[in-house]
C-alpha cells in the first residue's frame, strides 16, 4: 500500500512546472497560486529563466513571497534538444527535495519534465519500500494541462506527428489531464487519441475586481492588439490588413500594439511600410487593464488559441472585441459566435475591422457579453474545480 497523501482540503504541497512565464499560462498559474495559498497550501514554481522581460520579472518578484516551496528558474529550450536531459537531471534533484504531493504541469515542455520526474520519484519510492530501506518519500500525483501547446501542431506534418506521439507516450505517466476549453479537449482527442487517464474540463476564470468597466483614453487608437508578438497570434495579418481598412473607410487608421516576442522586430519593420494612412504605436508589456485604455476596440487575430485570457479580460472590462474563430473563443462568445472572424484570412479580417469601424456591420451586445463572462468565468470556480481534480488524482493513486 502506497503512503497516504493529504487531501487538498488539508495542507498540500503543490508544485507548478511550466516553461514560459508569459501570457495566458503564467496568468493561469498566478491565479491558482493566490487561491491555493489563501486556502493554506504550500506552493512552488519551476519555470524557464530566459523567457520574459522586465514586466514578467516584476510579476515573478511579486509572486515569490507566496511561494513557500520556492521559485526555481532554469534555462529551458522551447523545442526538443539534447539540453533537455541536463535540465531533467537538475530538475529531478530540485523536485525531489521539494517533496511535493502534487506536480501540476502546464504546456508541453513543463508537462514533459514534471511527468517524467514524477514517475521517477514514484518508482524510487517503490524500490525503497520493496527494499525496506526505511526511507520515506512522497509519491506525487502528476497533472498536465496542455494550454494548447502540442495540440496546435498540424497532423499532416512530421513535427506534428512527432509531438503527438510523444504526448501519447507521456500520457501513460499522467494521473489526470486538465483541459481549459472544450476545443482543447476535443482537439487533443482528435489528434492524439482518447485519453488513457481521467480528465477534467476547467475553463479559465477572472477575479471579481476585473469586471470593473474601463473607458479608453481620449487619444486612444482605433484598434488595439495585446499579446505575444509571434505569427501564431496573427499579428502579421493584423498589420497587413490595416492599409486596406484605411482604404475602405477612406480615412487614416491608428493602431496600438502591446507586447513582446520573437517576431517583434519583423512587425516593426512591416509597420514602417504600411503607408501614410496607417499610424502604429508599439508598447512593451504592461498591466492589461492599463493597456485597454490605449485602444477603442481589441483585435484578437490569432491563428490558434486555447482559452485566451485576453478575450475574457477585455469583455470583463466591457471593451469591444473583434476576434477570430479559433480555440475556445466561440465558447466565450457563445450565442454571439457568429460574429467571429475566419482565421488566417486577411480579407475576412479587413471586412470585419472596416465593417465595425464604419458601422456597417452589427456588433454583438458587448454589455450582455460582459454579464455572461461574469456569470460563467470566475477565478474562484476555476480554482475549486482544479482542487477537485487534485482530489480525484490523489484518490486514484491510493
Written as one string, the DSSP assignment of 150-189 is: GGGS-TTSHHHHHHHHHHHHHHTT-SEEEESSHHHHHHHH
Q: Which residue has the cell 514534471?
A: 114
Q: Which residues of the chain have pLDDT under 70?
A: 1-9, 126-138, 398
CB 273 within 8 A of CB 297: no
In the chain, what are the domain boundaries?
13-205+378-397, 209-376
CATH 3.40.50.1360 fits 209-376, yes or no: no
Compute the CA torsion angle 165, 166, 167, 169 (nearest 10 deg): 90
304 in Cβ contact with 232 (< 8 Å): yes
* Same fold: 13-205+378-397 with 209-376: yes
CA distances from 384 to 14, 106, 358, 359 (A): 15, 18, 43, 42
Residue 109 burial (10 A CB sphere; 0-12, 13-18, 19+): buried
* CA count, 13 A, side-chain hemisphere, 59: 23
Q: What is the topology classification, in CATH, of domain 13-205+378-397? A: Rossmann fold (3.40.50)
The pLDDT of residue 12 is 93
Quote the pLDDT of residue 11. Answer: 87
Whole-model pTM: value is 0.86
How much is the pLDDT for 9? Answer: 58
Residue 133 is predicted with a pLDDT of 52
Beta partners for residue 221, in sequence order: 295
> What are the grid coordinates assigned to 152, written together?
496546435
CA dist., res. 41 & res. 33, Å (int): 9
* Cβ-Cβ contacts under 8 Å for 305 (sequence gap 6 or more): 148, 326, 327, 328, 329
* Residue 5: predicted pLDDT: 57
Please report the pLDDT score of residue 1 as a whole number.
40
Amino acid at each position: 500500500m502506497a503512503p497516504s497523501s493529504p487531501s487538498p482540503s488539508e495542507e498540500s504541497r503543490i508544485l507548478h512546472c511550466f516553461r514560459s512565464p508569459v501570457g495566458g499560462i503564467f496568468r493561469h498559474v498566478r491565479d491558482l497560486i493566490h487561491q491555493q495559498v489563501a486556502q493554506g497550501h504550500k506552493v512552488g514554481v519551476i519555470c524557464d529563466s530566459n523567457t520574459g522581460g522586465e514586466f514578467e520579472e516584476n510579476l515573478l518578484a511579486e509572486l515569490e513571497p507566496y511561494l513557500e516551496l520556492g521559485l526555481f528558474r532554469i534555462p529551458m529550450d522551447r523545442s526538443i534538444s539534447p539540453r533537455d536531459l541536463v535540465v531533467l537531471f537538475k530538475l529531478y534533484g530540485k523536485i525531489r527535495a521539494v517533496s511535493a504531493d502534487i506536480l501540476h504541469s502546464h504546456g508541453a515542455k513543463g508537462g514533459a519534465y514534471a511527468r517524467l520526474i514524477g514517475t521517477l520519484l514514484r518508482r524510487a519510492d517503490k524500490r525503497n519500500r520493496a527494499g525496506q530501506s526505511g526511507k520515506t518519500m512522497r509519491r506525487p500525483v502528476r497533472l498536465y494541462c496542455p494550454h494548447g501547446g502540442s495540440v496546435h501542431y498540424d497532423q499532416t506534418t512530421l513535427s506534428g506527428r512527432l509531438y503527438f506521439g510523444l504526448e501519447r507516450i507521456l500520457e501513460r505517466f499522467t494521473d489526470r489531464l486538465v483541459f481549459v476549453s472544450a476545443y482543447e479537449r476535443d482537439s487533443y482527442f482528435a489528434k492524439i487519441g482518447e485519453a488513457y487517464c481521467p480528465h477534467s474540463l476547467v475553463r479559465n476564470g477572472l477575479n471579481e475586481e476585473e469586471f470593473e468597466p474601463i473607458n479608453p483614453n481620449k487619444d486612444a487608437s482605433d484598434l488595439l492588439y495585446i499579446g505575444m508578438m509571434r505569427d501564431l497570434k496573427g499579428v502579421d495579418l493584423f498589420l497587413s490588413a490595416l492599409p486596406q481598412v484605411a482604404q475602405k473607410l477612406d480615412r487614416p487608421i491608428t493602431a496600438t500594439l502591446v507586447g513582446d516576442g520573437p517576431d517583434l522586430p519583423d512587425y516593426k519593420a512591416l509597420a514602417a511600410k504600411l503607408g501614410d494612412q496607417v499610424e502604429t504605436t508599439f508598447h512593451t508589456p504592461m498591466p492589461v487593464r492599463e493597456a485597454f485604455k490605449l485602444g477603442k476596440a481589441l483585435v484578437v487575430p490569432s491563428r490558434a488559441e486555447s482559452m485566451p485570457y485576453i478575450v475574457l479580460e477585455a469583455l470583463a472590462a466591457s471593451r469591444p472585441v473583434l476576434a477570430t474563430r479559433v480555440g475556445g473563443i466561440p465558447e466565450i462568445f457563445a450565442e454571439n459566435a457568429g460574429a467571429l472572424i475566419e482565421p488566417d484570412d486577411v480579407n475576412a479580417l479587413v471586412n470585419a475591422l472596416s465593417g465595425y469601424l464604419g458601422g456597417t456591420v452589427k456588433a454583438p451586445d458587448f454589455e450582455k457579453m460582459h454579464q455572461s463572462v461574469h456569470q460563467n468565468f470566475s477565478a474562484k470556480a476555476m480554482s475549486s474545480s482544479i482542487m477537485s481534480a487534485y482530489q480525484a488524482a490523489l484518490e486514484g493513486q491510493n
